[in-house]
Amino acid sequence: MKNYTICVILLMTVYTPIREKQIQPAKTIQPAENLFIITTDGFRWQELFLGADSLLINDASVTPDAETMKMLYWDEQPEKRRKMLMPFFWKVVAGKGQVFGNRFYDNKVNVANIYSISYPGYHEIFTGKTGLSVASNDKIFNNNTNVLTYLNETEKYKGKVVAFTSWDVFPYILNEKENGFPVNSGYESMEAETAGASLINEVQASLQKPSLSTRHDRLTFLAAREYLEQHQPKVMFLGLGETDEFAHQSRYDLYLEQAHAVDGMIAELWHWIQTTPGYKDNTTMIITTDHGRGRRESKWSKHGMLVGGSSETWMAIVGPHIQPAGEIKQEQQLFQKQIAQTIAELLGEEFQTDHAVAKSIPLH
Ligand SMILES: [Zn+2]
């Protein structure tokens, strides 16, 4: 035991300074040409890092068919559990990239805005700042310049930026009226240039109900992939929304199923990237969420200012020039507002605008 302790102390003494030296701002990392940002709305760090929650998966009021869900997503060991829930994320994204936000290691990611709801969250991700007046999910055009608009105004990325989102508030958050790049959101149809696009439009039209503000994620994904094939954008934001929808319905089973489906879509996207010339070994992906949810079992379905845990999030970065550091296990505090400048720097750009932009995330 004593020898073991000495060994550990020696290892830590030798090892810690080396690890710290390896942290570098995103701008010192060789840029890739393309960057995809993927968000899954209101997906908790708890499920990402620990997999299914034992209390929630055994609670019949939120998980009606616990038996099947447990066959799919349950193991006593959290590291096995999370892989059952999100196999691509834990094998490939964590295997090749960097994952932040496991609070058991004091590696923390939080939203910096005080509201912990979606519009302020996405505002923070894309503008690199918070604003007290950005306080609701109302359909109000955002006057703050976002990093996607900034990139679309550079020579290199002009006409090469696009957003596909499930939630229909994004045209306001990203200010489609003035930003100059397409934002396809909710059940908005896409230009029917191909048989695939026409089919997607037809399916959407058959499913659309005026009450639905969030399109099925699978349709958002298929529309985005069709656009990728046709237009080869360099910067794409894929905003998925159903994890939040199912949580609000207090359906933990569907929330888990959707997380698993999102993992599958990220896998498909990665496979497309790695089998498509121009994108292969030339595309970085940032995967994150817009807010956390209640920490307590009675509050997991909710989020917001008064729900403890709602500001706790996570993020992952994977790409050809990102060191495979995996799950980051060192004490650190990152904020969602740091993502905007990170997006720019990973493309070799600097996001400069008429407001102060938070500095980028230091990468390992
Ligand atoms: Zn929500």
The pLDDT value recorded for residue 1 is 44
Among all chains, which residue has been given the structure tokens 């020696």? 10
Q: Which letter does DSSP use for residue 359 in this model?
A: P
Q: How far is the CA of 321 from the centre of ligand 1 (A)?
A: 34
Q: How far is the CA of 93 from the centre of ligand 1 (A)?
A: 25
Burial of 93 (0-12, 13-18, 19+ CB in 10 A): buried
| pLDDT exceeds 70 at position 130 | yes
Decide which of 238 and 4 is more confident.
Answer: 238
CATH number at residue 259: 3.40.720.10
Lowest mean pLDDT among 248-252, 274-278, 296-300: 296-300
Q: How far is the CA of 313 from the centre of ligand 1 (A)?
A: 14
Q: How far is the CA of 30 from the centre of ligand 1 (A)?
A: 36
| pLDDT exceeds 50 at position 14 | no
Determine the residue type at 71: M
Q: How far is the CA of 291 from the centre of ligand 1 (A)?
A: 8
Q: How far is the CA of 312 from the centre of ligand 1 (A)?
A: 14
Q: What is the 3-state secondary structure (H, E, C) of 258-294?
A: HHHHHHHHHHHHHHHHHCCCCCCCCEEEEEECCCCCC
Judged by DSSP in three states, 108 sits in strand
Percent of the chain scoring above 70 in pLDDT: 94
Decide which of 6 and 143 is more confident.
Answer: 143
Q: How far is the CA of 119 from the centre of ligand 1 (A)?
A: 10
Q: How far is the CA of 17 from the centre of ligand 1 (A)?
A: 41
pLDDT in tens, 249-265: 999 999 999 999 999 99
Instruction: Name the nearest CA neighbour of 42 among 303, 348, 363.
Output: 303
Q: How far is the CA of 248 from the centre of ligand 1 (A)?
A: 6
Q: How far is the CA of 303 from the centre of ligand 1 (A)?
A: 6
Output the six-digit token pair for 325.
């550091």
Residue 333 contacts residue 112 (beta carbons within 8 Å): no
Residue 59: domain span:
2-363
Long-range contacts for 75-84 (Cβ within 8 Å, ≥24 apart)? 75/51, 78/49, 78/50, 78/51, 80/51, 81/50, 81/51, 81/52, 82/47, 82/48, 82/49, 82/50, 82/51, 83/51, 84/51
The total number of structural domains that make up the chain: 1
C-alpha 160/C-alpha 201 separation (Å) is 23
Burial of 276 (0-12, 13-18, 19+ CB in 10 A): middle
Lowest mean pLDDT among 117-126, 203-212, 343-352: 203-212
- Which protein residues have a CB closer than 5 Å to ligand 1 (ion)? 42, 244
Q: How far is the CA of 192 from the centre of ligand 1 (A)?
A: 31
Determine the residue type at 328: I
Instruction: Name the nearest CA neighbour of 121 among 146, 89, 93.
Output: 146
Q: How far is the CA of 114 from the centre of ligand 1 (A)?
A: 15
Q: What is the number of other CB atoms lying within 10 angstroms of the CB of residue 48? A: 24
Among all chains, which residue has been given the structure tokens 């939120």? 62
Q: What's the pTM value of the predicted model, to 2 decimals? A: 0.93
* Cβ neighbours for 14, distance < 8 A, ≥ 6 positions apart: none
Determine the residue type at 294: G
| pLDDT exceeds 90 at position 357 | yes
Q: How far is the CA of 90 from the centre of ligand 1 (A)?
A: 25
